[in-house]
Amino acid sequence: MSDQADPSISTDYKQQEFDFTGCHSRRTRDNAFKTCRTSKRQTEILSLFSIAKDGLTRQEIADRLDIPVNHITRPVLDLIVAGELLETNQTRLTRWGKPACVLIRTAPTDLPLV
Protein backbone atom coordinates (compact mmCIF):
# COMPACT_ATOMS: atom_id res chain seq x y z
CA MET A 1 0.00 0.00 0.00
CA SER A 2 1.10 3.48 -0.76
CA ASP A 3 1.54 6.16 1.91
CA GLN A 4 0.06 8.81 -0.36
CA ALA A 5 -3.62 9.75 -0.19
CA ASP A 6 -5.88 8.94 -3.09
CA PRO A 7 -6.20 12.17 -5.15
CA SER A 8 -9.77 11.33 -6.22
CA ILE A 9 -11.03 11.59 -2.63
CA SER A 10 -11.55 15.18 -1.53
CA THR A 11 -10.67 15.91 2.06
CA ASP A 12 -11.52 19.58 1.74
CA TYR A 13 -14.87 19.89 3.51
CA LYS A 14 -15.61 23.21 1.83
CA GLN A 15 -15.79 21.47 -1.54
CA GLN A 16 -18.31 18.95 -0.31
CA GLU A 17 -21.97 19.88 -0.17
CA PHE A 18 -22.49 19.31 3.53
CA ASP A 19 -23.80 21.83 5.97
CA PHE A 20 -21.73 21.56 9.13
CA THR A 21 -23.16 24.71 10.68
CA GLY A 22 -26.26 22.96 12.04
CA CYS A 23 -28.63 25.38 10.31
CA HIS A 24 -30.51 22.61 8.53
CA SER A 25 -31.13 20.61 11.69
CA ARG A 26 -32.12 23.76 13.55
CA ARG A 27 -34.64 24.68 10.84
CA THR A 28 -36.01 21.14 10.77
CA ARG A 29 -36.44 21.13 14.55
CA ASP A 30 -38.11 24.57 14.49
CA ASN A 31 -40.53 23.51 11.75
CA ALA A 32 -41.41 20.33 13.63
CA PHE A 33 -42.03 22.34 16.80
CA LYS A 34 -44.26 24.81 14.96
CA THR A 35 -46.25 21.96 13.43
CA CYS A 36 -46.78 20.25 16.76
CA ARG A 37 -47.65 23.48 18.50
CA THR A 38 -50.09 24.56 15.82
CA SER A 39 -51.77 21.15 15.74
CA LYS A 40 -52.28 21.23 19.50
CA ARG A 41 -53.65 24.76 19.33
CA GLN A 42 -55.96 23.80 16.46
CA THR A 43 -57.29 20.87 18.50
CA GLU A 44 -57.96 23.20 21.42
CA ILE A 45 -59.79 25.64 19.14
CA LEU A 46 -61.90 22.93 17.54
CA SER A 47 -62.84 21.52 20.95
CA LEU A 48 -64.35 24.90 21.85
CA PHE A 49 -66.70 24.68 18.89
CA SER A 50 -68.18 21.44 20.24
CA ILE A 51 -69.37 23.45 23.24
CA ALA A 52 -70.33 26.72 21.53
CA LYS A 53 -72.95 25.75 18.94
CA ASP A 54 -73.69 29.35 17.86
CA GLY A 55 -70.10 30.04 16.81
CA LEU A 56 -67.26 32.06 18.29
CA THR A 57 -65.25 35.12 17.40
CA ARG A 58 -61.46 35.10 17.51
CA GLN A 59 -61.59 37.20 20.67
CA GLU A 60 -63.98 34.75 22.35
CA ILE A 61 -61.66 31.87 21.44
CA ALA A 62 -58.69 33.71 22.92
CA ASP A 63 -60.63 34.57 26.08
CA ARG A 64 -61.75 30.99 26.62
CA LEU A 65 -58.23 29.63 26.08
CA ASP A 66 -56.82 32.45 28.24
CA ILE A 67 -54.24 33.48 25.64
CA PRO A 68 -53.71 36.66 23.60
CA VAL A 69 -55.75 36.93 20.42
CA ASN A 70 -52.63 37.17 18.25
CA HIS A 71 -51.68 33.64 19.33
CA ILE A 72 -54.79 32.14 17.74
CA THR A 73 -55.03 34.09 14.50
CA ARG A 74 -52.67 31.82 12.54
CA PRO A 75 -54.18 28.52 13.74
CA VAL A 76 -57.65 29.89 12.97
CA LEU A 77 -56.52 30.93 9.49
CA ASP A 78 -55.07 27.45 8.92
CA LEU A 79 -58.39 25.91 10.01
CA ILE A 80 -60.31 28.21 7.65
CA VAL A 81 -58.02 27.27 4.74
CA ALA A 82 -58.39 23.57 5.63
CA GLY A 83 -62.18 23.92 5.57
CA GLU A 84 -62.72 23.14 9.25
CA LEU A 85 -63.99 26.63 10.11
CA LEU A 86 -66.06 29.13 8.16
CA GLU A 87 -66.37 32.89 8.63
CA THR A 88 -70.01 33.94 8.59
CA ASN A 89 -71.50 37.33 7.79
CA GLN A 90 -72.60 37.65 11.42
CA THR A 91 -70.71 39.94 13.76
CA ARG A 92 -70.59 40.32 17.51
CA LEU A 93 -69.11 43.09 19.58
CA THR A 94 -65.82 42.39 21.33
CA ARG A 95 -65.23 43.47 24.92
CA TRP A 96 -63.88 46.74 23.48
CA GLY A 97 -67.06 47.36 21.50
CA LYS A 98 -65.69 46.60 18.04
CA PRO A 99 -67.43 44.21 15.64
CA ALA A 100 -65.83 40.80 15.12
CA CYS A 101 -66.68 38.09 12.61
CA VAL A 102 -68.33 34.94 13.94
CA LEU A 103 -66.70 31.62 13.05
CA ILE A 104 -68.58 28.33 12.83
CA ARG A 105 -67.37 24.75 12.52
CA THR A 106 -68.09 23.19 9.14
CA ALA A 107 -67.06 19.61 9.92
CA PRO A 108 -69.12 17.45 12.29
CA THR A 109 -68.10 17.81 15.90
CA ASP A 110 -66.64 14.40 16.66
CA LEU A 111 -64.44 15.66 19.48
CA PRO A 112 -65.42 14.82 23.05
CA LEU A 113 -66.78 17.59 25.23
CA VAL A 114 -64.18 19.24 27.40
What CATH number is given to the structural domain containing 36?
1.10.10.10
Nearest of 33, 29, 56, 31 to residue 45 by alpha carbon: 56
Residue 1 lies in a domain: no
Residue 74 lies in a domain: yes
Residue 13 lies in a domain: no
Segment 37-63 shows an average pLDDT of: 86
In-domain check, residue 46: yes
Instruction: Tell me how far apart the alpha carbons of residues 1 and 62 are, in angstroms, rounded to a whole number.
Output: 71
**How many domains are there within the chain?**
1
Residue 2 has pLDDT above 60, yes or no: no
Decide: helix, strand or coil at residue 13: coil
Is 3 within a domain? no
* Domain assignment present for 8: no
pLDDT tens digits, one per residue of 83-95: 889 999 999 998 8
pTM comes to 0.61
CB 76 within 8 A of CB 58: yes
pLDDT at 58: 94
